[in-house]
Structure 1
Amino acid sequence: MISTAWGISFRAFDIGQLRIFFAFGVLQILNLIFISVFTLYQMLSVHTSLTLLALTPIFFMLLTTKIIMPRMAAFTRQNQEAVGLLTNRVTEAFTNIHVIQTNASERSFQRLIAQENDKVYATDMKVLMLRTLFFPLMSALTGLSQLVVLFYGGSLVVQNKISVGDILAFNIYLSYLAFPLTSIGIILSVYQRSKTALERLDPFFNETPESGSDAKILPFPNPNEVDIQDLHFTYPGSIHPVFMGLNLRIRKGEMLGVCGSVGSGKSTLFQILTRIYEPPVGTTYFEGKDVTTLDPITLRREIAYALQKVHLFSASIADNLSFGLIDRPSEEELARASRSAQILKEIESFPDKWDTQIGEKGLRLSGGQKQRLALARLFLRKPKILLLDDVLSAVDNITEARLIQEFRGIGCTMIINSHRGSVLE
């Protein structure tokens, strides 16, 4: 699984390398081809053997490139991997700043970041050392071509085989070739970085969108009834099964409470019902329709799934409540849903009310406020099936009782997972 930090690294660094190659590298390649063809034609028209001899250093240039490029490729990959690790470490520091502070671990985390930074520096220096050797060598070989023209061309002038004007023309043509030939090193360096970046981005490009599956998408039924038959499920890459022959049937409007120890598969059941994890064919049904034949996007619009961990966005309260809805709800609808979630009075007490900015991940709200704001989304969704994954852990007993009463009033099929016995009674 690709972490958020790796995604940031790919976006900021690898895509940047591809942009440089296509904006600068491709232009330089076209420039090199055009100038080389034009100049070589003019040089050959003056004297063939002098042209071939003047181009001899270029073959050494190609040989040097063949030797150096594999090493540069390896060092470039190491450098970009090190940048990804550093980005991951820095992102962890920002997202877990409170954990670091409460454990007084600032200095130890600084050391970890410094270690990752040293790796970036070390790998970057390896790349720079090769480039430092490569580019002057390209310039030296280009200068060697000019020396060949002066010495061999001078002997041809003495023998009256070519004129001094031809030597002058040759030097002008070589000066035309000088920058394109010298820039070969830059082009190859940019190409190597972009090639490595493309290889690292390959997992993103090879991901198949959910809606692009080969499954036949059937007309979506009213998913009021859930039927699970002999479900066996194991997480990808694991050898320990989560479910072994699970059978479950929930009729329209029924409410089911799920209780179990940590790791018993309570949350996994919800993720299978919403096709976050794909169940085996012929095991999970809505109204008699196999869930694997249903469009996952349409399915999730009909099912409201409240996650155990609350996820809020750095936006206004109204924007967070409207998230995932096709049509933006009116203020009256927002108020009705917030009242059901037992948070309306607190929203109205804020100076900006619905326009209140809650900060990154709801930083300006308490744990209970975050949880109830997330629950208000569910009341706006008007779902056919409601999945509640231990969503009442941060509210008091009185608020819990009111919320359960509101859930019962929705009238939809409901599955509740909780560690609290009072919720499941």
Structure 2
Amino acid sequence: MHLLPGTTSLYSRLLRHVRPYRWEFFGAVGAMVVTAATEPFLPALLKPMLDKSFVHKDPHWMHWVPLMLMGLFFVRGIANFIAKFAMNWVGNKVVMDLRQQMFGRLLHLPARYFDDHSTGELISKLVYDANQVMQASTTVLTNLVTDSFVVVGLMGWLIYLNWQLTSVTLLVAPPIAWVVRKVNLRLRHINRDTMSAMGNLTSVLDESIQCQKVIKVFGGIPVETDRFHETSNWVRRLSMKQAAASAANVPIVQFFAALAIALIIGMATWQAGTDQTTVGGFVSFITAMIMLLAPVKRLSDLSESLQRGLAAAESVFALIDQPPETDEGTQVLEHAQGHLHFDQVCFAYPRGHRLALDSFSLKIQAGQTVALVGASGSGKSTLASLVPRFHNPTSGRILLDGYPIANLTLASVRSNLALVTQEVVLFNDTVAHNIGYGPLRGTSLERLREVARAAHALEFIEQLPDGFQTLLGENGARLSGGQRQRIAIARALLKNAPVLILDEATSALDSESERAVQAALDTLMEQRTTLVIAHRLSTIEKADLIVVLDQGRIVEQGTHRELMDREGHYAKLQRLQVLDQ
């Protein structure tokens, strides 16, 4: 089986993941060798069975040949079971390790990676691609080792019986190698395209499930049906191309093998006519030749599985090799006071046409509440994403308690922050584990009740079927928007971080819920540095400082009263919002 350029290094890297399970792996390979070694014994037993038992009526061989056959298949069955079980055990371990590495790398990738890759594509890599790797690490290797030893063993027996006839088989080796190489090239390219197509299919499916309400209300069912059909049909077409290449490979290889067998049978018949071979020798030779066809066919079939597995391995290793978030900081800030300083901060998104933030400078004192307002696209959310270092400034710097956050470790920066966003994120877990998340998992019920009460969430939590032990479903599907928001606020309350970022934290609430949650937020914001991104200007009138942004620049700043008296951008935004209401 001819290997493509780069295949050896790729397969070597894959086998390095087998190293922790090398003893199980070597045990499987040993069992394969035993299985393969028993294969040539069957045609080898046919020669004495025919010549000694049937022709010469030797009683010794007449008694021992059946027992030897039984022993042969007993040993073969035990070895075959051990080989397949052990190799599948190793393969599943390798796939689990790869998935764990991929998942671990996903959690450490920068935000821009997720901006460039769909959720469906990433899910496909972990679920589909990783599973295809198992084909290259187990099934292919099992058949490659076993069938290679079988071919070597049968060829050895054939050479021992009649080297002249056996030499004919060497004539078909070059054309078979050429055919396999061409098929391998095509299969590798097709399988790469298939990985990408499966990612697109998963992405379409994920979007359709997540957006099913919008699809129904806006009449998008025909559009999404056509989109899924088009993507699914492309996967089908690639599968058929793969099937065609694989199907063409087998008959071509078999044709050359049959040609060799035909020549051999012709020559063997002539030798039998001239008494150069016995009946047992001839039957043993033909049997070995026929038995040789099956492993040769399986070896030729391995190209499809191998190329599919290696294409998947390329995809898996491409994710594992992605550079993680830059964390060059070495300093650790255990518990910050909350002084924030933005010093000439500029930021531009990749492929952005302009700066999202342009020379932004602002000093925020510890315990101060600063609200960021402005039209959509003015840079409010961008600024909030720079503080937890989801993105890094293009230029300028951000300081926390006088320390540049670039010099602090990521864990140190984020341990001093609590975040409540417009898009509430809840996990398919209990209420208790959603509030007490991460290091706070296992918080006492009394403390959970305390923060839930402060977030005005205790009343509806106690009405749930199992209270704090109620499973919330995917992204809190069993709760209303306002209830999900209050669970997220309770999570922030429990963390008790010195710096709080509220990104449209009350946008999903009705008027009654907003008043209750705003009261909880007022308590939460006491003695904490709070950065508030607000759409409803009525919620930030009590802020210590209101900063008005326009196209990434500060155009106004002051208290609510000062800005209203100034009759500038802020006053205009207030009037427009009052008119909208």
Q: How does the TM-score come out when normalised to structure 2?
A: 0.68
Match for 1:423: what amino acid?
Answer: T
Residue number in structure 2 paired with 1:304: 418
| Aligned counterpart for 1:228 among listed residues 342, 360, 369 | 342
| Aligned counterpart for 1:113 among listed residues 217, 221, 228 | 228
Give 1:178-217 correspondences, 5 Å limit.
178-210=293-325, 213=326, 215-217=328-330
Distance in 1, Cα, partners of 2:277 & 2:166: 13
| Aligned counterpart for 2:450 among listed residues 336, 339, 343 | 336
Distance in 1, Cα, partners of 2:282 & 2:177: 26
Q: Secondary structure at the match of 1:335?
A: helix
| Aligned counterpart for 1:262 among listed residues 348, 356, 376 | 376
Deviates more, 1:24-33 or 1:143-152: 143-152
Q: Secondary structure at the match of 2:215?
A: helix
Match for 1:238: what amino acid?
Answer: G
Residue number in structure 1 paired with 2:520: 403
Structure 1 residues 191 and 422: alpha-carbon distance in aligned structure 2, compared to 1, 3 A threshold: same
Q: Does 1:80 align with 2:180?
A: no
Residue number in structure 1 paired with 2:128: 13
Deviation at 1:358, TM superposition (A): 2.2
Match for 2:264: what amino acid?
Answer: V
Tell me, yes or no, if the aligned pair for 2:426 and 2:484 is still in contact at 8 Å: yes
| Aligned counterpart for 1:175 among listed residues 266, 290, 311 | 290
Distance in 2, Cα, partners of 1:164 & 1:56: 26
Q: Secondary structure at the match of 1:55?
A: helix
Q: Does 1:421 align with 2:537?
A: yes
Distance in 2, Cα, partners of 1:404 & 1:84: 41
Deviation at 1:239, TM superposition (A): 4.1
Deviation at 1:412, TM superposition (A): 1.5
Match for 2:140: what amino acid?
Answer: G
Residue number in structure 2 paired with 1:293: 407
Q: Does 1:377 align with 2:494?
A: no
Distance in 1, Cα, partners of 2:356 & 2:516: 33
Deviates more, 1:362-371 or 1:134-143: 134-143
Residue number in structure 1 paired with 2:186: 71
Q: Does 1:320 align with 2:470?
A: no
Structure 1 gaps of 5+ residues are: none
Q: Does 1:91 align with 2:200?
A: no
Deviation at 1:102, TM superposition (A): 0.9
Deviation at 1:155, TM superposition (A): 3.7
Q: Secondary structure at the match of 2:374?
A: coil
| Cα deviations by residue, 1:70-100 (Å, 9 ceiling, x for unpaired) | 2222333333332222221111111111001
Q: Secondary structure at the match of 1:120?
A: helix
| Cα deviations by residue, 1:361-400 (Å, 9 ceiling, x for unpaired) | 1122111111111111010001011111110112325225
Task: Give the share of equivalent positions with the same residue, in percent.
Answer: 24
Deviates more, 1:146-155 or 1:363-372: 146-155
Distance in 2, Cα, partners of 1:383 & 1:150: 84
Structure 1 residues 19 and 233: alpha-carbon distance in aligned structure 2, compared to 1, 3 A threshold: same
Q: Secondary structure at the match of 2:427?
A: coil
Distance in 1, Cα, partners of 2:353 & 2:160: 72
Match for 1:44: what amino acid?
Answer: I
Residue number in structure 1 paired with 2:251: 136
Match for 1:407: what amino acid?
Answer: L
Give 1:341-356 correspondences, 5 Å limit.
341-356=455-470
| Cα deviations by residue, 1:233-289 (Å, 9 ceiling, x for unpaired) | 111343422122211221221111111211122111121110111235761221222
Q: Secondary structure at the match of 1:77?
A: helix
Distance in 1, Cα, partners of 2:139 & 2:310: 14
Structure 2 gaps of 5+ residues are: 1-115, 542-581
Structure 1 residues 192 and 217: alpha-carbon distance in aligned structure 2, compared to 1, 3 A threshold: same
Residue number in structure 2 paired with 1:241: 355
Tell me, yes or no, if the aligned pair for 2:135 and 2:306 is still in contact at 8 Å: no
Q: Secondary structure at the match of 1:10?
A: helix
Residue number in structure 2 paired with 1:283: 397
Distance in 2, Cα, partners of 1:333 & 1:196: 51
Distance in 2, Cα, partners of 1:289 & 1:176: 74
Deviation at 1:304, TM superposition (A): 0.3
| Cα deviations by residue, 1:189-223 (Å, 9 ceiling, x for unpaired) | 0011112112222331112344xx56242222533
Distance in 2, Cα, partners of 1:199 & 1:100: 35
Match for 1:264: what amino acid?
Answer: S
Deviation at 1:327, TM superposition (A): 4.4
Tell me, yes or no, if the aligned pair for 2:194 and 2:235 is still in contact at 8 Å: yes
Q: Secondary structure at the match of 1:283?
A: strand
Residue number in structure 1 paired with 2:216: 101
Distance in 1, Cα, partners of 2:237 & 2:396: 54
Distance in 2, Cα, partners of 1:330 & 1:222: 23
Tell me, yes or no, if the aligned pair for 1:257 and 1:415 is still in contact at 8 Å: yes
Deviation at 1:65, TM superposition (A): 1.2
Distance in 2, Cα, partners of 1:337 & 1:48: 86
Structure 1 residues 54 and 165: alpha-carbon distance in aligned structure 2, compared to 1, 3 A threshold: farther
Tell me, yes or no, if the aligned pair for 2:432 and 2:448 is still in contact at 8 Å: yes
Residue number in structure 1 paired with 2:158: 43
State the structure with more CA Rg: 2
Q: How does the TM-score come out when normalised to structure 1?
A: 0.92
Distance in 2, Cα, partners of 1:398 & 1:384: 24
